[in-house]
Structure 1
Amino acid sequence: MSATSDTPPVDTGDVPRPPTRRTQAKAARRAELLTAAARQMAERGFAGVRLEDIGRAVGVSGPAMYRHFSSKTELLDEMLVDISQRLYDGGAEVVDRGGPPSETLLALIGFHIDVLVTKPDLIVVQDRDLSSMTPEANHRVRLLQRRYVERWVDVVIAIYEQEGRTLDRAEARVRVHATFGLLNSSPRLPAYDEAQLRRLLTAMALAALGCRV
């Protein structure tokens, strides 16, 4: 028997192929279109923006837009499902690290503010244009939002219990939703020093939640 016959064949079927330049270029252009769409929809609303307007902002002709998105609604769906998934995943990661509830809450607030600061247009569109999504995408977004809220609720209740106070889950949800309302309104505010804005929003969030940390 030869030496080579004892060598098992190498299975390369599960090895992912690196993306081609064309695939990378298409993904980059798609990301540009999503960013342009968020900016325009934040400024003018979903109804006030055409697919052609979005394409023009990044140098894509009207017909070429349909190679990326079949409709403006498809674009909105992807945009809002993505930001909702990002919020939930980020919040879950913060909570799953463990640690004292007070530190976890501050980290959750900081994470949410990070998203507000870096993706203000998406937050505005998410807050205003959910009703323009397809029913399936709308359901997905609302499910992710509820799960994100529950992560916060668990932490807030833990802080109350640690302090010897009681807070039922229904009231905790109201407080968390009110906090999101405060935080998510910040992209519409006039320009403000970021460090001061972060301190102010953190203090407002803690006050709305009734937490002393």
Structure 2
Amino acid sequence: MSIQPLPTKRASTSRRRERLIAAAAELFLQHSYDAVTVEMISARAGITGPGLYRHFQNKQALLIAVLEEPTRAVHEAARRIGETTTDPGAAIVEMVESHIRLILQGPPSTLIFTKNEHALPEHDRRRIRREMAMYAEEWISVVTPLRPDLSEPEVRLLTQSVFSMLNTAATLKKGLDEDSFLSTMRQAALHALLGRGSL
């Protein structure tokens, strides 16, 4: 029988931080920022109240992490796909799947941002908006050559509509396992982006 190594202090700290972000994301989606307390977040994460301050300066810093880290991660994934996948058709499939897998991990940051952007300092609000806009541009650059029948404004509208569909669907997935949700939403997104009959 092999002996499993004990988790390092850094790994344990990272897991606690991830639990706090996940708990806060759920609460910030369910309630307004002002209605969510540090005690509520700590209780849901299974961490003592003072423990939160070992990872975040305050509740506002936690909200910024909830919004910024997933947005940065999905943007970096889309950029990597765009740079390494020469076929636009294959690239958009990967981008769709990457987005769906992210929202399966927790509430979509876009929905949380829309509900709580009033609680952000102006410079943080602008930075997060800019990251979201750059992420959308990665999709638009891939969809554009696939849809020569659409103008640039139409491609932008289509892309944003697909984002909205996927993000909203993430809050409605009760009763579906992850594979079923991924398959259903992947098909719906590609059907919309590529045009009926293009799959």
TM-score by length of 1: 0.77
Structure with bigger gyration radius: 1
Report the more deviating stretch, 48-57 or 141-150: 48-57
% identical equivalent positions: 23
Q: Identify if the C-alpha distance between structure 1 residues 193 and 54 changes in structure 2 by more than 3 Å, giving closer, same or farther.
A: closer
Partners of 2:150 and 2:105 lie apart in 1 by 33
- Once superposed, what is the RMSD of the aligned Cα atoms? 2.4
Shift of 1:156: 0.9
* 2:49 is the counterpart of 1:62: yes
1:195 equivalent in structure 2:
179
CA distance in 1, matches of 2:28, 2:144: 36
Report the alpha carbon displacement of residue 121 of structure 1 after superposing the two structures with TM: 6.0
Match of 1:110 among 97, 101, 105: 97
Q: 1:170 corresponds to which residue?
A: 153
SS at match of 1:129: helix
Q: Deviations over 1:44-75 (max 9, x none)?
A: 34232101221233444434433332321111
| Residue in structure 1 matched with residue 188 of structure 2 by the alignment | 204
Shift of 1:25: 4.1
Which digits, 9 at most, give the CA deviation of each residue in 1:117-173, with x for residues without a partner? 12236564245323322222211111111111111111111112xxxx332222211
Q: Within 2, Cα distance between the matches of 1:193 and 1:32? A: 22
**Counterpart in the other structure of 1:92:** 79
Cα distance, 1:111–1:64 mapped onto 2, change above 3 Å: closer
Distance (Å, rounded) in 2 between the aligned partners of 1:153 and 1:121: 20
Match of 1:185 among 168, 171, 176: 168
What stretches of structure 1 of length at least 5 have no aligned partner?
1-20
Q: Which runs of 5+ in 2 are unaligned?
A: 1-7
> Residue 40 of structure 1: which of 20, 23, 27 is its match?
27
The TM-score, its normalising length taken from structure 2, stands at 0.82
- Contact 1:84/1:144 (CA < 8 Å) preserved in 2? yes
In the TM superposition, residue 208 of structure 1 has moved relative to its aligned partner by 2.8
Contact 1:85/1:144, CA 8 A, preserved across alignment: yes
| Cα distance in 1 for residues equivalent to 2:194 and 2:144 | 10
